[in-house]
Amino acid sequence: MPFAEERIYSVTDIVGEVRRLMEKGYASVAVTGEISNLRRASSGHLYFTLKDEAAQLSVVCFRSTAARAALELADGLQVVARGRLTVYEAQGRFQMVAEALEEAGLGALERRFRELVSRLAAEGLFEEAAKRALPRYPSRVAVVTSPTGAAVRDIISTLRRRWPCAEILLAPVPVQGAAAAPAIVAALEALSVARAADVVILGRGGGSIEDLWAFNEETVARAIRRCTIPVVSAVGHETDVTIADFAADRRAATPTAAAELVAPLCGEVERAVAALEGRLQGRMASALALWRARLERLLESYALGEVRARIERGLQRLDHAAERLSREVAAMVRARAGTLEARLAALAALDPRAILERGYAICADRTTGRLVRSRAEALAAGRLRVTFRDGDVPARVEEGSA
């Protein structure tokens, strides 16, 4: 019974089965070849043949896909078609349904991008040496971006959070389309001429290479370099790189990262100021200690009466002041307890000038300006300057004092 189990298909069945097999096996393929025999049906669908030296493949591109394709299709064009294989059952032909079409090799924009990068790089526009340092503590930050995108919101909220003492100047510009590059150039120019900020953030959120194109324009790159204010670029996501990024003084991966780069953390700066104030006070404490030593020496040489009593009072005051000062420094180390005003007032109270108010004077060598701390120093100096609370008088060691 050689044919007992033979299955006899109808044409419809066999073609249908081949179609299903093909659709399952080639649901997503990319095919490169040259377009030929391109026809546009009245329905708007496109039909063409993709061919290479040895074979050809029928392709249909439905109207919606054809409208989305960025490139101008024409016979002879090398393309990459992405889509699925199927069988057109009515004619028993297999064909490809293209869902996306792009130019083979580098796209046109990609080519322009590379050409411009190498030309501007050769010109030195991207030189590291030309890049300016960002200010450490910007008081005015300009933001050149779309006023409606997520980027502006990210930048403003990051600046607010980290560095609320800065003023933000938003230069609203379109960030895609033909108007974008001229508007960006004009904004950079205006900010630059008016010196309206300490640093500029230029950016936008992510998008396709077409969306980001304004940031690849030569005019924008040149405007960035011409800008007298340092520019931080923040275009798209981490992976998007534009010519603006190369030209900018610093590149940030995202708009939020740009704001973080530009703005220090307010709390850290407050701590830095407190540390400097601490050192200032520490230095003044040593100056007070020097004074104390000097008064003690005076005490030894003026053993008598009223002068001695005054010096003793002065010493007490100094001791008192030194105690207060060390308490102040300790208080600051304890996470800045107390208000600034209180601390500054306490410091002002330590001002050695207050001691001049109480009748002491400072004696210095008139020639060198150095303090005269001893009889021997005074004799050596000869010409002195004595400072009272209300000013100096020149003085001279009398002949024969030695």
Determine, following the binding rule CB under 8 A, whether residue 175 of this chain makes contact with other proteins: no
Burial level of 35, CB count in 10 A (0-12/13-18/19+)?
buried
Measure Cα distances from 304 to 281, 301, 309, 311, 312 in Å. Answer: 34, 9, 8, 10, 11
Closest approach of other proteins to the CB of residue 127, in Å: 25
Contacts of residue 325, defined as CB under 8 A and 6 or more positions apart, other chains included, come to 281, 284, 285, 288, 347, 350
14 vs 193, beta carbon nearer other proteins: 193
Helix (H, G, I), strand (E, B) or coil at 398: coil
Select the span of 41-49, 162-170, 307-315, 324-332 touching other proteins (CB under 8 A): 162-170
Determine, following the binding rule CB under 8 A, whether residue 132 of this chain makes contact with other proteins: no
Q: How far apart are CA 164 and CA 159, in angstroms?
A: 6
Determine, following the binding rule CB under 8 A, whether residue 352 of this chain makes contact with other proteins: yes
Closest approach of other proteins to the CB of residue 390, in Å: 13
Q: How far apart are CA 126 and CA 13, in angstroms?
A: 65
Among 344, 379, 380, 393, binds other proteins (CB under 8 A): 344
**For other proteins, how many residues bind (rule: CB under 8 A)?**
57
138-157 residues in contact with other proteins (CB under 8 A) are 138-139, 142, 147-148, 156
Per the CB < 8 A criterion, the answer to whether 352 and 287 are in contact is: yes
Contacts of residue 333, defined as CB under 8 A and 6 or more positions apart, other chains included, come to 278
Contact code string over 182-221 relative to other proteins, x by CB under 8 A: -----x--xx-xx-x-x-----------------------
Q: How far apart are CA 28 and CA 45, in angstroms?
A: 20
Determine, following the binding rule CB under 8 A, whether residue 348 of this chain makes contact with other proteins: yes
Determine, following the binding rule CB under 8 A, whether residue 320 of this chain makes contact with other proteins: no
Question: Can you give the binding site for other proteins, defined by CB under 8 A?
Answer: 135-139, 142, 147-148, 156, 159-160, 163-172, 187, 190-191, 193-194, 196, 198, 266, 269-270, 272-273, 276-277, 279-280, 283-284, 286-287, 290-291, 340, 344-345, 347-348, 351-353, 362, 364, 369-371, 387
